[in-house]
Amino acid sequence: MSDTADTEDNQDMLPSLVQQIVQRITAGEVPIKNIERELICPICKELFTHPLILPCQHSVCHKCVRELLLLNHEDSFDAGSECSLPGSPGPRSRVPSPSMERLDRLARSGSISSPGWRRGSVTPRVTTFPCPGCQHDVDLGERGMSMLFRNFTLESIVERYRQAARAAVAIMCNMCKPPQQEATKSCMDCKASYCNECFKFHHPWGTPKAQHEYVGPTMNFRPKVLMCPEHEMEKVNMYCEVCRRPVCHLCKLGGSHANHKVTSMSSAYKILKEKLSKSIHYLISKEDQVRTQISHLEVLINETEENGQVAECGAYEHFERLFQTLQERKSEMLNSIAQSRMRRLEQLRGQVEEYQGMLENSGLVGYAQEVLKETDQSCFVQTAKQLHTRIAKSTESLRTFHPAADPSFDEFVLETSREETLLKELCFGGVPEPPIIDLSRSRVYNEGLLCWQLAEDTLATDHQVLEYRRLGAEQDEEGASHWRLTDRVYGPSTVVCDLEANSLYSFRVRSCRNSLYSPYSPEVTFHTPPAPAFGFLFNDNCGFSSERLALSKRRDSVESMAGMAFLLAAERVQTGSYMGLDYIIGDTGISQGRQYWAFRVEPHSYLVKVGVASDSKLLEWFHNPRDTSSPRYDHDSGHDSGSEDTCYDLSQPFTLLTVGMGKMFLPKASGGDHGDHSNRVLPMPQRIGVCLDYDAGRVYFYDADTMRCLYERQVDCSGTMYPAFGLMGSGKVHLEEFITAKRLSYM
Mean pLDDT score, 301-308: 90
CB count, 10 Å around CB of 331? 10
pLDDT at 236: 82
666 φ, ψ (degrees, to nearest 5): -90, 140
Smallest Cα–Cα separation from 495: which of 556, 433, 567, 445?
Answer: 445
d(CA 442, CA 448) in angstroms, rounded, equals 8
pLDDT at 599: 94
pLDDT in tens, 651-675: 678 888 999 888 899 887 644 444 5
- 112-121, 136-145, 380-389, 573-582: least confidently modelled range: 112-121
DSSP letter string over 260-326? S-EEEHHHHHHHHHHHHHHHHHHHHHTHHHHHHHHHHHHHHHHHHHHHHHHHHHHHHHHHHHHHHHH
CA angle 689, 694, 700 (to 5 degrees): 30
Q: Where are the beta strands (DSSP E) in 445-500?
A: 448-453, 463-470, 484-485, 493-496
DSSP letter string over 337-397? HHHHHHHHHHHHHHHHHHHHTTSTTSHHHHHHHHHHT---HHHHHHHHHHHHHHHHHHHHH
CA-CA distances (angstroms) from residue 152 to 18, 220, 371, 424, 453? Answer: 12, 9, 128, 62, 50
For 456, half-sphere exposure in the C-beta direction (CA atoms, 13 angstrom radius) is: 0
Mean pLDDT score, 143-156: 75
pLDDT at 461: 82
Options 3.40.50.150, 3.30.200.20, 2.60.40.10, 3.40.50.970; CATH of 427-528: 2.60.40.10
d(CA 472, CA 506) in angstroms, rounded, equals 11
Smallest Cα–Cα separation from 253: which of 231, 226, 271?
Answer: 231
pLDDT in tens, 183-194: 878 887 788 888
Which residue intervals of the chain bear CATH 2.60.120.920?
549-623+652-667+680-735
Q: Where are the beta strands (DSSP E) in 497-579?
A: 504-513, 516-517, 524-527, 549-551, 557-560
pLDDT at 569: 57
pLDDT at 245: 81
In this prediction, residue 103 has a pLDDT band, given cuts at 50, 70 and 90, of very low
Smallest Cα–Cα separation from 185: which of 206, 162, 161, 201?
Answer: 201
Q: Quick check: 480 pLDDT over 90?
A: no
Q: Which residues pair with 600 in a beta bridge?
A: 734
> What amino acid is encoded at 137 in this protein?
D
Q: Quick check: 213 pLDDT over 70?
A: yes
pLDDT in tens, 406-432: 888 888 888 888 888 777 766 666 678
pLDDT in tens, 453-476: 887 655 778 889 999 999 876 665
Mean pLDDT score, 277-293: 85
CA-CA distances (angstroms) from residue 130 to 67, 107, 119? Answer: 13, 12, 20
Mean pLDDT score, 163-169: 58
- For residue 29, the Cα-to-chain-centroid distance in whole angstroms is 43
Which residue intervals of the chain bear CATH 2.60.40.10?
427-528
Q: Quick check: 63 pLDDT over 90?
A: no
More reliable by pLDDT, 581 or 485: 485
d(CA 39, CA 158) in angstroms, rounded, equals 6
% pLDDT > 70, the chain: 72
d(CA 248, CA 9) in angstroms, rounded, equals 17
Select the highest-mean-pLDDT range: 118-122, 179-183, 684-688. Answer: 684-688
Find all residues with CB under 8 Å of 613, minimum gap 6, and list them: 585, 621, 653, 654, 655, 656, 721, 722, 724
d(CA 143, CA 149) in angstroms, rounded, equals 12
Q: Quick check: 131 pLDDT over 70?
A: yes
pLDDT at 360: 55
d(CA 612, CA 583) in angstroms, rounded, equals 11
pLDDT in tens, 194-210: 888 888 788 888 788 87
- For residue 207, the Cα-to-chain-centroid distance in whole angstroms is 68
Cβ burial 537-563 (10 Å sphere, 16+ → b, else e): bbbeeebbeeebbebeeebbbbbbeeb
DSSP letter string over 162-222? HHHHHTTPPPBPSSPPSSPPBP-EEETTTTEEE-HHHHHHHS-TTSGGGG--EESS-S---
Options 3.20.20.70, 3.40.50.720, 2.60.120.920, 2.60.40.1510; CATH of 549-623+652-667+680-735: 2.60.120.920
pLDDT in tens, 501-536: 889 999 999 988 877 888 899 999 999 999 988 989
Select the highest-mean-pLDDT range: 18-32, 92-106, 546-560. Answer: 546-560
d(CA 249, CA 229) in angstroms, rounded, equals 13
d(CA 197, CA 217) in angstroms, rounded, equals 15
SS3 448: strand
pLDDT at 472: 79
d(CA 31, CA 24) in angstroms, rounded, equals 9
CA-CA distances (angstroms) from residue 292 to 31, 299, 306, 307, 343? Answer: 19, 10, 21, 22, 75
% pLDDT > 90, the chain: 16
Q: What is the mean pLDDT of the chain?
A: 75
d(CA 69, CA 302) in angstroms, rounded, equals 45
